[in-house]
Structure 1
Amino acid sequence: MRRVAIVSEHASPIAQAGSVDSGGQNVYVAQVARQLAAQGYAVDVFTRLDNAQLPRELEWGKGLRIIHVPAGPARYLPKEDMLPYMDQFGEFMLGYFGKCSHSYDLIHANFFMSAMAALPVARQFGIPLAVTFHALGRVRRQHQAEADKFPDSRFEIEDGIVRSADRIIAECPQDRRDLIELYGADPDHISMVPCGFDPQEMWPMEREPVRASLGWDPNAFYILQLGRMVPRKGVDNVIRGLSRLRKQYSVDARLCIVGGNTTAPSEESTPELARLKSIAREEGVLDFVEFTGRRGRSQLRRYYCASDVFATTPWYEPFGITPVEAMACARPVVGSDTGGIRYTVVDGVTGFLVPPKDPDALAERLARLALDRGLSARMGKAGAQRADQLFSWRCVGTQLANVFEGLYESSMAPVPARHWGAETRLTA
């Protein structure tokens, strides 16, 4: 039996997705761990201890464990504040690997800090290291400028990881290009494996009954925005698009925004909420915007299926799981022409791609769907077919397992595939 260590310093698979630092990476880590376990791997997920009440080791299912790593205070920390504790994270892993009764065949690090902590462990014990970045510092800085709270040292750390990792997992073609063009990654050491959706969670439902269960107007045109409530997600742009859709195209449109730090959001618990409500008020659409707060995974399908269209217009998006989930629920997607959304959404077939920060373009595409329900239905059906063919977590797990098996076999070869220098520790 192969044993894999998945490292995800800030994104625990048991965290509630939808808050400021809990989102797609949490879902990714949870699903990849489950899929590998289902294929017969023994999987340990190493994640930072952020609650003193959590056990050091948690049996999470057959072949699945979560190891809570003491690194910094045992409470929530923004991921931007975790960098000083990554040496501590790595030292714990070194000790754990050295003392445990079993050996690991591969380490899969998620995010640059996880790779930073895991690299010395991989080299000391001769274990292949695969890295999924989920977001790249230079890309983030391009789009967020001074709002990016990570230090410049992140760039040098990522450069070292790109040079040293045995395999880099790119999530979409744009991610692969960025790794090559911005980091000088060797194309031969990159494998592209996307994110996915769970067919047991997401599938089409009849709109009318589920809309009634949410208390939505049966005749209105509903736009859904779902995800973390942070500025880069472009929720403000969707609000402005709603305003133009109502005023310029006379569409009786409503917007439901799912996300936030709590199930009953307040401006205190979710700071971004105050800004978004102010924008909705200025645009004259506050009465047509519903801020539902965070919802559990089991509830999300109802929101996707009750809506007419899913809209997501982030400034940038390394991949974006929510558009795939919306497609799996047979809903057309209008999304930013950037990153992973450019890969998952086929413009004019499964939805539309629009420039970020362009509410006029967004409103025009939404109006097309609102005024042509046949087009909307065709796009929804095409999206469901594309999701089923390319983006199920089972398919993702199989692709990753193939990559990992190739790495393991290469590591067993008499001649190492790559030469590593003596120094493998990366510092902030």
Structure 2
Amino acid sequence: MRIAMVSEHASPLAALGGVDAGGQNVHVAALATALAEEGHVVEVYTRRDRVDLPERVTMHDGVDVIHVPAGPPEPLPKDELPPFMPAFGRWLARRWSEEGAPDVVHSHFWMSGLAVLEATRTVRVPVVHTYHALGSVKRRYQGAADTSPPTRIRDERTIGRSVDLVVATCSDEFGELRRLGVPVSRLRVVPCGVDVEHFTPGPPHDAAAGAAGAADPGGTAGPAGPRRLPHRLLTIGRLVPRKGVATIVEALPAVPTAELVVAGGPPRHEIDTDPEVRRLTALAEDLGVADRVTFLGSVPHDDMPALIREADVVVATPWYEPFGIVPLEAAACGRPVVGAAVGGLLDSVADGVTGVLVPPQNPTALADALVPLLQDRERRSRFGTAARRRAVDLFSWTTVAAGTLAAYEAAAYPAMYPALKEASA
């Protein structure tokens, strides 16, 4: 197939770690690459945000990234981009009218959906859409702190009712989309994926280094430095309140054998200037655990597997999470996850099999889950083995690409899918 992906603010070429760069960039890049490796041709359309960007960049054999002129050629917060989506869509329509339309277009995020709806007003192309995050969920949890444009929820509802097929990334999102009025017959669930060849269990850590760390906390060194206590907890993500790092800090007094390593945010040499780090440091000082919390700042992608393998448990306790890539990366590395029972973690963490799920924003429940797990190395090892197996079976990019391709075929050839054809009538 000739596949067009539209990812208006999240270029697959973008470096990770910026305010508006993260999981969607990884998802689009990895999915496009996996589809190309299966013989498909993929063009990814993203907004030009620098004057010196060439129109076309080859990212991988079979994958080109095309920079679309829509709005000023400079970085802008994504919440400021909606006014430029009509121009983005008209540019796509002209390009596809001149060079031929793709077999299917896959829009990523709600603003990409608006651009694609504009484009397909004049050039008919089957449309598959992935939201990556929903404004209704964001508004529910952030309230007045939500900076999304006021039309976002209305526009998301329009997109879901207009495209040929919506790919939800988890069962929780599927339910939310049903409540928004998206017909069930137009919904598919295809999860996000993880690179199971980059994120691997590697050399054993729990049995050997973990025991060494208990006897000699200074003897275990790696990306996060030597251990100071018998057990190491790791959390990874953007340093924003909704990621719930405060919940982990608040649990630490009840988990006396563990230190906490926090990866994410600005580079390490700038970490002390970050407002969330300052807030979390003050909290840790008030609770008497500041000496057990280390902020690493941003960590290079190549170092991430080793960082994860150093941990006994990876902890992910967001207030809400559209999907969450870190639990998959931990699973692929053979590490158990203790996570909040929200959003995508309800699918990515098999409670009692690959990790433990706890209520969000509940440090007592978190500590109650962590203490017995840290005390039971055999259970951690069993969880880690099951997590790796599940990551390979369900969340490899090969598996995710196959599920996505099936969605494309359902949208492109509705005669083969009666329920979808009836919903589109």
Give yes or no for TM over 0.5: yes
Superposed displacement of residue 381, structure 1: 1.1
The aligned residue for residue 224 of structure 1 is 234
Superposed displacement of residue 94, structure 1: 2.2
The aligned residue for residue 89 of structure 1 is 88
The aligned residue for residue 315 of structure 2 is 311
Superposed displacement of residue 6, structure 1: 0.6
Q: Between the two proteins, what is the percent identity of the paired residues?
A: 40
Q: Where do 1:203-218 residues align within 5 Å?
A: 203-205=200-202, 206-207=204-205, 208=209, 211-214=220-223, 215-217=225-227
Instruction: After superposition, give the CA deviation of every residue in 1:373-413 in whole Å (9 maximum; x if it has no partner).
Output: 11111111111111111111110001111211222222799
Superposed displacement of residue 271, structure 1: 3.2
Superposed displacement of residue 284, structure 1: 1.9
Q: Is the 8 A contact 2:222 2:310 kept in 1?
A: no
The aligned residue for residue 121 of structure 1 is 119
- Is the deviation greater in 111-120 or in 400-409? 400-409
The aligned residue for residue 202 of structure 1 is 199
Q: Is the 8 A contact 2:101 2:125 kept in 1?
A: no
Q: Is the 8 A contact 1:244 1:359 kept in 2?
A: no
Whether 1:70 and 2:79 are equivalent positions in the alignment is no
Partner Cα separation in structure 2 for residue 65 and residue 133 of structure 1: 22
Change (3 A) 1:275 1:74: farther
Superposed displacement of residue 420, structure 1: 7.6
| Structure 2 unaligned residues grouped into runs of 5+ | 211-218
Q: Which has the higher contact order (CA 8 A, sep 6+)?
A: 1
Instruction: After superposition, give the CA deviation of every residue in 1:5-41 in whole Å (9 maximum; x if it has no partner).
Output: 1111111112222332222111111111001111111
Change (3 A) 1:244 1:218: closer
Partner Cα separation in structure 2 for residue 267 and residue 11 of structure 1: 27
The aligned residue for residue 337 of structure 1 is 341
**SS of residue in 2 equivalent to 1:68:** strand
Change (3 A) 1:411 1:231: farther
| Aligned partner of 2:373 among 369, 372, 383 | 369
Whether 1:163 and 2:127 are equivalent positions in the alignment is no
Partner Cα separation in structure 2 for residue 102 and residue 83 of structure 1: 26
The aligned residue for residue 188 of structure 2 is 191
Instruction: After superposition, give the CA deviation of every residue in 1:198-257 in whole Å (9 maximum; x if it has no partner).
Output: 1221110222399523322175211111112222111111121223312xxxx2x11111
| Aligned partner of 1:133 among 125, 131, 134 | 131
Superposed displacement of residue 330, structure 1: 0.8
| Aligned partner of 2:248 among 238, 249, 261 | 238
Q: Let me know the Cα RMSD of the aligned residues.
A: 2.2
Partner Cα separation in structure 2 for residue 74 and residue 294 of structure 1: 26
| Aligned partner of 2:397 among 393, 396, 404 | 393
Whether 1:260 and 2:259 are equivalent positions in the alignment is no
Q: Is the 8 A contact 2:229 2:259 kept in 1?
A: no
Instruction: After superposition, give the CA deviation of every residue in 1:108-162 in whole Å (9 maximum; x if it has no partner).
Output: 0011100011112124211000000011111111111111101321111111101
Whether 1:328 and 2:332 are equivalent positions in the alignment is yes
The aligned residue for residue 27 of structure 2 is 28
Q: Is the 8 A contact 2:410 2:416 kept in 1?
A: no
**Residue type of the partner of 1:85?**
F
Instruction: After superposition, give the CA deviation of every residue in 1:243-281 in whole Å (9 maximum; x if it has no partner).
Output: 3312xxxx2x1111111133533344x432222222222
TM-score (norm 1): 0.91
Change (3 A) 1:262 1:53: farther
**SS of residue in 2 equivalent to 1:9:** coil
The aligned residue for residue 384 of structure 2 is 380
Q: Where do 1:341-360 residues align within 5 Å?
A: 341-360=345-364
The aligned residue for residue 272 of structure 1 is 276
Partner Cα separation in structure 1 for residue 72 and residue 250 of structure 2: 40
Partner Cα separation in structure 2 for residue 112 and residue 121 of structure 1: 14
Q: Is the 8 A contact 1:231 1:272 kept in 2?
A: yes
Partner Cα separation in structure 2 for residue 114 and residue 70 of structure 1: 14
**Residue type of the partner of 2:324?**
G
Q: Return structure 1 stretches of 4+ with deviation > 4 angstroms.
A: 418-421
